[in-house]
Amino acid sequence: MTQILSIQSAVTYGFVGNSVAAPVITKLGLQPLLLDTVALAAHPGYGTNAGGRPDNADFQAILEAFAGLGLFSDLASVITGYLGDVGQIAPIETMLKIWQATAPHGLYILDPVLGDGGRLYVDADIVTAMQNQLLPRANIVTPNQFELGMLTAQTIRSFDQAIAAAQSLLDDHPRLNAVIATGITNAQHGISDICISRSANIELDYPKRPHGVAGGGDLLTAVLASWLTAGHDLPAAFTAASKDAHHIIDNSATAIEIALFDNLDGLTPCGG
């Protein structure tokens, strides 16, 4: 079965990070391989911070041992999402270098879970290390409006500014094939998800909601990765990921959590 390595957060209760990626990737017919960057009872929106990140030495040892299993030629894709500590970035970069040398056609999707709504969720040194060490190795990056601004050191308040910022990332990073920018303020007073690639731009418009829903970006990235890994082209994968994510968000009763299991059967099949 085709494998996707997902390196991001996990929660005992709820749906963010790997707790989204595992059921979504499995439902779409691929095999998730999971490495948790932090393990919590629930995401902080529930008012608890119980749990924490693994020791950096243990995290590095897991990645090194995984690399030593000889599986890289069969690993089709890698996702990285929320990172618990800047010390996790160097071993991820090392693993990516080895994997990309072994599987040059592999797909690395960087989901830069840095913050939203003008607020940074992580330490500032994670932003800098991500820019310098992970972004240059990414094939696709999936920032929200705030994260796109953080990655490019620009203020993003409009559709045109988002396009320009995304284009600057493509200009600066030869390995990067596309920027999937989500939740971008558009001229119709709604929001847009935009796929900015080296060949074309695709915009999908949605009504602006009063708030976001935790886990929505992780869901979009998991669907996108599954579709691309299953062999679909970027426009089809982007469209399915955006529409599926917004459908599930629209069918979630509160902002605190996406209703993932209630809507999992509604994911668009990708033939994985």
Residue 240 in contact with residue 204, Cβ under 8 Å? no
- Beta strands, E only, 30-74: 31-40, 51-52
Taking 50 as the pLDDT cut, the residues of the chain under it are none
pLDDT of residue 224: 98
Domain residue spans in the chain? 3-266
User: What tokens does 10 get?
Assistant: 């996990």
Alpha helices in the chain (DSSP H): 18-27, 56-67, 89-102, 124-129, 145-152, 159-172, 216-229, 234-250, 260-263
pLDDT digits 0-9 by tens, 116-152: 888 898 999 999 999 999 999 999 999 999 999 999 9
> Per residue in 40-60, pLDDT tens?
898 877 777 787 899 999 999
**Superfamily name with CATH number, domain 3-266:** Ribokinase (3.40.1190.20)
pLDDT at 179: 98
Handedness of CA 221, 224, 228, 230 (dihedral sign): positive
Q: Scanning the structure block, which residue is given the tokens 């890698």?
A: 78
- What 3-state class would DSSP assign to 23? helix
pTM of the model: 0.96
- What's the pLDDT at 18? 97
Contact 6, 18 (CB under 8 A): yes
